[in-house]
Each structure stands twice: as C-alpha cells, then as structure tokens.
Amino acid sequence: MSENDFTPDEMMTIAASRALTNDDVCFVGIGAPSAACNVARLTHAPDITLIYESGTIGTAPDVLPLSIGDGELCDTAITTVSVPEMFRYWLQGGRITIGFLGAAQLDKFGNINTTVIGDYHHPKTRLPGGGGAPEIATSSQQVYITMKQTLRGMVEKIDFFTSFGHGDGGDARKKLGIETAGPTLLITDLAIWKPDPETKEFTVVSLHPGVTRDEVQATCGWTVKFADDLEVTPAPTELELKTLRDLRERTRIAHSGKKEKAA
C-alpha cells in the first residue's frame, strides 16, 4: 500500500483523527466525525473517551454505527446512561473536551445548518435536524467540524441556524453568555482551517497534498482567507490508511448482512 495512494475523503478523515488526543472526552457525531474519532482510538489515542448521544460512554465500536441507536455502541461501551444524564451531567457539566460535528451547510464563522435548505416553511430540502448538536456546539469546551467542500455546503449565509458557531464573528458567543470556545477547527477534504483569533473567520492554515488555493476557493461560497505561513498537511501513513480502510471494510460487511468477517 502506497502512502501516495489515498482519496480526499481518506485524507480528511485521517487529518481529523490526528487532532484528537488520549486525554480527550469526545462527543461524537455520526458519519465522518465517527470515522475520524475511531481511527484516532485505533491508532495514536487508544485511551480517548468516545461518547455518543444515546448515552454510551467509553464506547469502542468494531464497526462504524449507522446511527446513535446502533446496538454496536451500547455493546462496546464501558457504561450507558440516560440521555438526560448524558446532556445534563456530562455535556452541560463541562466534561466534554471536544464536540465533533458534521454539517450540511456551514458559514465562515462556523455556524451550522442541519435543518432545512431554503425557506423554513417551504424548504427545498428537509434535513435530519439538530438532534443534540445545538447543545454540543455551546457546551463542549471546543468544537471540531468535518465536511466535504462544496459550493452548496460552504455558503456565505446559512439558511437556518441549527448549531451556533461564532455568530457574526468577534465576541458574538461571549455577548450571548456562552463561555466555551466554540468551533476551533474545520477539516475538509481539501484543507485544514482555524478561526482567526480576532474575527473568528475560518482561515486555511494547511492545504492537503496536491491541493491548490484555487481548488479550495472554487468549492467555497465565501472569499477564502489563507494563513501567511500556509502549510501542507502530512500525507496519511500506511498505518493510518490501513486502519481506516479495515474499519470501513468491517463496517461494509456488517451492514450488508454478511456473516463473514473482514480479513
């Protein structure tokens, strides 16, 4: 397996996984965040505590869950608590270091829409909704976001505020009495972004291997700002790629109803 043979989606997932540490207590969103968190657990952060919205604590799934209600999460968790306890004691109690979220729409200040595309009362598309994401976005010590770049996904103005990021920028969170840091990292399939310390506008700090500034701009609905000391994201290692691919293959087999195990 060549370290040069990887997809943009694999680069995104692995770059996101690297942002997590052994000491993190991570509230995990389904989809790309779940893949990233479990790659971290299976590689450099074996002691990370993964928490899912259904109340599972310290879960270590062998395959990626289809939803927060997937039995795999409860089966592999250290313990499972009620959803009210999860939100009141763990999340609102400040015990979650990282809330890891995805987004259907995102603006440059990290505000997330997962509710509707178009007018709320007459939407073009009705999305799954917020679930626990609004509370995760305000109560986690930090929020990481991962998503693929598209013009319809990364927009100048989101159609609905599902999860509050940095509002209209600056100290918008503080003005509302929100003391947590909010979105501190955005990982896409093309780049790594961090909010400007003052304006809170997401700024590209690292381009993934082979990606150009023009490619980033072409898939983003606002005028992109790039850091002066722009870096290149390290390519995935063979271990990282094998871990991610094995995890996805186990997941594919499990969800297709086959009984054979992945090699």
Q: In the numeric block, which tokens belong to residue 126?
A: 């009705």
Q: Does residue 85 carry a catalytic annotation?
A: no
Q: In the numeric block, which tokens belong to residue 177?
A: 């009495």
Q: Where are the beta strands (DSSP E) in 11-114?
A: 25-28, 49-51, 56-57, 79-80, 98-101, 105-106, 112-113
Q: Choose the catalytic residue: 10, 53, 135, 201.
A: 53
DSSP 176-195: TT--S--EEEEE-SSEEEEE
Q: Per DSSP, what are the bridge partners of residue 57? A: 51, 79
List of residues 6+ apart from 263 with CB closer than 8 A? none
Residue type, 157: K
Q: Which residues are catalytic?
A: 53
